[in-house]
């Protein structure tokens, strides 16, 4: 550590802002594990303005597009565009509703640390928010993605239980091996991050990666390009995905109960079975799929599914 003059001591207790770093291999994730106090008094007018702009823009887009559960929960938590919410205030509401709580973190967590938080009904929220020039895209989770996108549905008892079950499953998969983790990560990706749900009045969004993205909020429901296919646990665990473009396929659940029920069985024999099977490209449609919409494939990149 560099020494600092005694007249300007390092701000003890102020969390770091840990972001991906640009290297000769492109942007690489940097991991952090500390739980930190939200430095709410340190947010600048610009930080609050970024929150305000993003909140107002997404809420406008999401009425009629996001699931009713999501919108109601966001209101019930008291999230507003006025200012970046205080984690302590949200926790008062959330803990009473479902026993979940938010913990502040400095950036991306290693998998096991993340799973352990979820297994204990703690949701890690990045304390810092993106810069004004990053309104439309950021490679890593920030406060807006985590808080606006992930936190509202933790108010829903069934979804909250699913998230905890996922965390427990993650700890277990971590002990089983890398292939099991790949299978489980696909489940998170196609549900928690990019899931759609069927309501009586049509398909709606519940995935956090979508609700926090202006472009994808429209694309996932209204574009002809992507597939929209009924939820199927093993099918999803075999399906690769995109991290650099909109998804080629979205999976549709009928209810959060369906999601919770799917995590009931022990995944260990499923991982063993999947280990002997090929994965599916992100855009594949199978004969066995329940197809809501078969994608036109327009604009799809031909490689780089992960």
Q: How far is the CB of 289 from Fe ion (least distance, A)?
A: 25
Contact indicator for 62, 205 with CB cutoff of 8 Å: yes
Phi, psi of 276 (to 5 degrees): -100, 0
In the complex with Fe ion, which residue's Cβ is closer, 208 or 227?
208
Q: How far is the CB of 107 from Fe ion (least distance, A)?
A: 13
Q: How far is the CB of 281 from Fe ion (least distance, A)?
A: 23
Q: How far is the CB of 58 from Fe ion (least distance, A)?
A: 15
In the complex with Fe ion, which residue's Cβ is closer, 141 or 295?
141
In the complex with Fe ion, which residue's Cβ is closer, 208 or 247?
208
Instruction: Give the residue closest to Fe ion by C-beta.
Output: 208
Phi, psi of 170 (to 5 degrees): -65, -45
In the complex with Fe ion, which residue's Cβ is closer, 244 or 298?
244
Q: What is the DSSP letter of 229?
A: E
Contact indicator for 16, 30 with CB cutoff of 8 Å: no
Residues 6+ apart with CB under 8 A from 137: 213
Residues 6+ apart with CB under 8 A from 53: 135
Long-range pairs of 277-281 with CB within 8 A, sequence gap ≥ 24: 277/238, 278/238, 279/238, 279/239, 279/240, 280/235, 280/238, 280/239, 280/240, 281/240, 281/305
What b-and-e string marks burial along 83-107, b requiring 16 or more CB atoms within 10 Å of the CB? ebbebeebeeebeebbebbbbbbbb
In the complex with Fe ion, which residue's Cβ is closer, 101 or 208?
208
Task: State the distance between the two ends of the chain, measured CA to CA, in whole angstroms.
Answer: 38
Residues 6+ apart with CB under 8 A from 255: 158, 197
Q: How far is the CB of 173 from Fe ion (least distance, A)?
A: 18
Q: How far is the CB of 214 from Fe ion (least distance, A)?
A: 16
Distance separating alpha carbons of residues 23 and 289, to the nearest angstrom = 41
Q: How far is the CB of 21 from Fe ion (least distance, A)?
A: 20
Binding site for Fe ion (CB under 5 A): 208
- Give the chain's radius of gyration (CA, Å): 20
Distance separating alpha carbons of residues 13 and 159, to the nearest angstrom = 33
In the complex with Fe ion, which residue's Cβ is closer, 74 or 208?
208
In the complex with Fe ion, which residue's Cβ is closer, 32 or 208?
208
In the complex with Fe ion, which residue's Cβ is closer, 187 or 274?
187
Q: How far is the CB of 193 from Fe ion (least distance, A)?
A: 5
């Amino acid at each position: 550590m560099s020494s600092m003059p005694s007249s300007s001591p390092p701000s003890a207790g102020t969390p770091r802002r840990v972001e991906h770093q640009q290297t000769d291999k492109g942007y690489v994730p940097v991991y952090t594990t500390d739980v930190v106090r939200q430095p709410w008094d340190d947010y600048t007018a610009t930080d609050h303005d970024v929150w305000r702009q993003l909140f107002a823009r997404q809420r406008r887009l999401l009425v009629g597009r996001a699931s009713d559960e999501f919108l109601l929960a966001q209101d019930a938590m008291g999230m507003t565009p006025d200012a970046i919410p205080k984690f302590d205030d949200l926790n008062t509401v959330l803990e009473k509703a479902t026993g979940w709580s938010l913990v502040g973190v400095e950036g991306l967590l290693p998998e096991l640390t993340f799973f352990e938080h979820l297994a204990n009904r703690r949701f890690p929220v990045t304390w810092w928010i993106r810069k004004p020039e990053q309104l439309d895209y950021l490679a890593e989770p920030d406060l807006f993605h985590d808080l606006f996108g992930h936190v509202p549905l933790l108010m829903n008892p069934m979804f909250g239980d699913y998230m905890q079950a996922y965390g427990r499953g993650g700890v277990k998969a971590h002990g089983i091996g890398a292939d099991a983790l790949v299978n489980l990560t696909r489940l998170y990706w196609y549900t928690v991050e990019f899931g759609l749900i069927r309501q009586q009045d049509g398909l709606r969004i519940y995935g956090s990666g979508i609700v926090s993205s202006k472009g994808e909020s429209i694309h996932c429901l209204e574009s002809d390009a992507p597939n929209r296919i009924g939820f199927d646990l093993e099918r999803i665990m075999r399906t690769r995905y995109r991290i650099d473009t909109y998804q080629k396929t979205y999976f549709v659940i009928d209810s959060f109960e369906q999601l919770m029920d799917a995590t009931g069985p022990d995944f260990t024999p499923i991982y063993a079975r999947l280990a002997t099977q090929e994965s599916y490209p992100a855009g594949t449609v199978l004969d066995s799929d329940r197809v809501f919409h078969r994608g036109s494939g327009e604009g799809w990149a031909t490689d780089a599914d992960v």
